[in-house]
Amino acid sequence: MPIPDPTQRYPVVLPDGSLHKGTVMLARAVEHPRMRIGDYTYASDFDAPEDWATRLAPYLFPTSQEELRIGRFCQIAHGARFITSSANHAMDGATCYPFPVFDPAQMADYQPDQRDTQIGHDVWIGYNAVILPGATIGNGAIIGAGAVVRGTIPDYAIVTGNPGQVTRFRFPQPIIQRLQALAWWDWSHVRLVAAEDALLAMDLEQLEALAPK
């Protein structure tokens, strides 16, 4: 199986030769000043939108103060949503009602919460998962279907439920440390092609032999 071409908007070719328009390489499909998306990261949707940025992060506006940063090789399933900091209301007053958003003179400068949302590399975000404002998700994590995630999720953790909880880790910590040291997601396309079998087989010795010296 070939490593997909990260420069193509539609990376999945069906057996009849047609392109599957429900899966896109997000870096090719999104142009948004507050989103940073790494190569090879894809999203899938049964009702593919014209505007993938708004579908995935409906509260992230061009004038927002925060950023949504998603690493390389992430996999984002149907229904996943990033509820970014622009969605939050101030909570320290007598009311949470956002009066300034109704005044054009104040609207652009009014954002009580400005935390970024950071998704690492090789993160699988499952069906209908919700990522809340300011979340940081480590490399290799799996976010289960329907999970609601806040705070910091460690590398290679598996998270399920609402509120999202770490149920276990994908690998023992010594293996996680070796994977982190490899940082295979930063390798060149040519090197990744050579490493594909080792990646799928979890052959750490072969990956370490193939790693840049």
What confidence tens digit (pLDDT) does each residue in 36-55 have?
Answer: 999 999 999 999 999 999 99
Query: What residue type is assigned to position 180 of the chain?
Result: Q
Query: Does residue 27 have a pLDDT over 90?
Result: yes
Domain with CATH 2.160.10.10 in the chain: 23-170
Query: What integer pLDDT is reported at residue 1 of this predicted model?
Result: 55
- 118-153 burial, b at 16+ Cβ within 10 Å, e below that, comes to bbbbbbbbbeebbbbbbbbbbbbbbbbeebbbeeeb
State the architecture of 23-170 in CATH terms. 3 Solenoid (2.160)
Look over the chain and give the mean of its residue pLDDT values, rounded to a whole number.
96
Instruction: Identify the residue with better confidence: 99 or 109.
Output: 99
Average pLDDT value for residue range 113-119: 97
Query: What integer pLDDT is reported at residue 87 of this predicted model?
Result: 96
Active site residues: 89
- If DSSP states are collapsed to H, E and C, what string results for 113-136? CCCCEEECCCCEECCCCEECCCCE
Query: Does residue 18 have a pLDDT over 80?
Result: yes
Confidence (pTM): 0.95
C-alpha 27/C-alpha 49 separation (Å) is 15
Query: What integer pLDDT is reported at residue 64 of this predicted model?
Result: 95
Band (111; pLDDT cuts 50, 70, 90): very high
The model's pLDDT over 42-91, given as tens digits with 9 standing for 90+, comes to 999 999 999 999 999 999 999 999 999 999 999 999 999 999 999 999 99
C-alpha 185/C-alpha 195 separation (Å) is 11
